[in-house]
Amino acid sequence: MAKINFGGVEETVVTRDEFSLDKAREALKNELVAVIGYGVQGPAQALNMKDNGINVIVGQAPEFKTDWDRAVNDGWVPGKTLFPVEEAAGKGTVVQYLVSDSAQRILWPKLKACLNEGDALYFSHGFSITYNDQTGVIPPSNVDVILCAPKGSGTSVRRNFLAGTGINSSYAIFQDYTGRAEERTIALGIAIGSGYLFPTSFESEVYSDLTGERGVLMGALAGIMDAQYQVLRQNGHSPSEAFNETVEELTQSLIRLVDENGMDWMYANCSATAQRGALDWRPKFKEATLPVFNELYEKVRSGEECKRVLESTSSDNYRDMLEIELRELRESELWSTGKKVRQLRPEKK
């Protein structure tokens, strides 16, 4: 494990140099990993482990035909490497619980009954354990309870793996029954294709993750885009110009420079006009949004956001209401313009 100083704080990270794929294979050679749920993270993690030579099976409810058929199309064989959830969970020595947070609460009594002494119960999100007073997900005392959370969508986990780069992940140990929980967790993190891993706790992972999703990563980003687009349109700018200045330049140019070299480098390598304006307005946006982020974090920490998620996703008409919200977003002028702009991009050769 490497010690790295981040902004004056020394942290421990695990890279493939310290914990190689060969070491991960050795640590997992007697394990059978059962990936439960073939929805968002399940396909990427299962396929990456399979490609890395780990013994993997998939557990998916056959009645959810879209996900079952997707697993079959990806090469998982019913009765050999693809099973109904409870059958797969009973076979696995590592049970990767990768169904949605709301589904974890519903499925938990059946899954818990499938766990055997010494198994590892694996999560990619700290939600169900951290908020177990609301989810009821309380593991038995005779299993390891571990977490490896890739910092990206399942699509990114698979795409980065195939590109040979990997994606960074956090890892945590909630319960170490066997004495091997940390080794198991790091080995699994390497096996699913992590570029490097950094330690956290279940609680810290879910607090940071929920704040990030509702904040910069999705909620705040979309809200700021809506606001800027609206101001430009109200002041006579065309839809395409407003979209290009709000979204296209960010996603196709600037954010890539930030990714490669950092925000300071991007500022240093843009025009003096853009540079001066960005530096002047940055503190104004921070001041305006800091109260919102403080409110958001407190609602995450208190469990209020958990309650909201569980109540809304368990309602009978949730999918219908979700489609209405997504359709409103999709058909808004901003994102319908975006669809047309994307179609004008040159095809990749």
Q: Which residues of 294-305 are buried (b: 16+ CB within 10 A; e: fewer)?
A: eebbebbeeeeb
Interatomic CA distance for residues 155 and 131, integer angstroms = 27
186: left (phi over 0), alpha (psi -120 to 50) or beta: alpha
Residue pair 62/84 in contact (Cβ under 8 Å)? The answer is yes
Order the strands of the 9-15 sheet from edge to edge.
Answer: 2-6, 9-15, 194-199, 167-175, 144-150, 120-123, 94-97, 33-36, 56-59, 82-83
In angstroms, what CA-CA distances link 194 with 159, 161, 296?
12, 8, 29
DSSP annotation of 242 reads H
User: Pick the catalytic residue: 50, 125, 158, 233?
Assistant: 125
Q: Can you give the length of the chain in residues? A: 349
Is residue 125 among the annotated active site residues?
yes
Q: What kind and span of H or E run contains 341?
A: helix 333-343
Residue pair 191/53 in contact (Cβ under 8 Å)? The answer is no
Which amino acids are annotated catalytic? 125
